[in-house]
Amino acid sequence: MSFTQNFNQDAGIFVETTQVWDVGSIYSVDVNSEEFKELLVRLYQYINNIVLVLNKKTSGYYVNEQFLTSDIYTNDNLSITETIRSGYRSFYFTGPLAAGINIFPHGLQVTAQWQWTYIGGSATRTGTPDGYPIPYIAAAAAYIGVRVTATDIIIDNQSGLVFDQSNITLKYIIV
What local confidence, expressed as pLDDT, does residue 50 receive? 83
What local confidence, expressed as pLDDT, does residue 29 receive? 78
Instruction: Estimate to the nearest angstrom the gap between the alpha carbon of 52 and the chain centroid.
Output: 17
* Domain regions of the chain by residue span: 3-56, 67-174
CB-based contacts of 98: which residues, under 8 Å, 6+ apart? 157, 162
Residues of the chain with pLDDT below 70 are: 1-21, 58-59, 61, 77-82
Assign residue 70 a region: left if phi > 0, alpha if psi is -120 to 50, beta otherwise?
left
What local confidence, expressed as pLDDT, does residue 19 receive? 65
Residue 2: DSSP 8-state: -
What local confidence, expressed as pLDDT, does residue 80 receive? 60
CB-based contacts of 155: which residues, under 8 Å, 6+ apart? 94, 97, 101, 102, 103, 104, 134, 144, 145, 146, 166, 168
User: The whole model's pTM is what?
Assistant: 0.68
What local confidence, expressed as pLDDT, does residue 103 receive? 97
What local confidence, expressed as pLDDT, does residue 2 receive? 38
Q: What is the pLDDT of residues 75-84, one digit of tens each?
A: 776 666 667 7
Say if CB 95 and CB 81 are below 8 A apart.
Answer: no
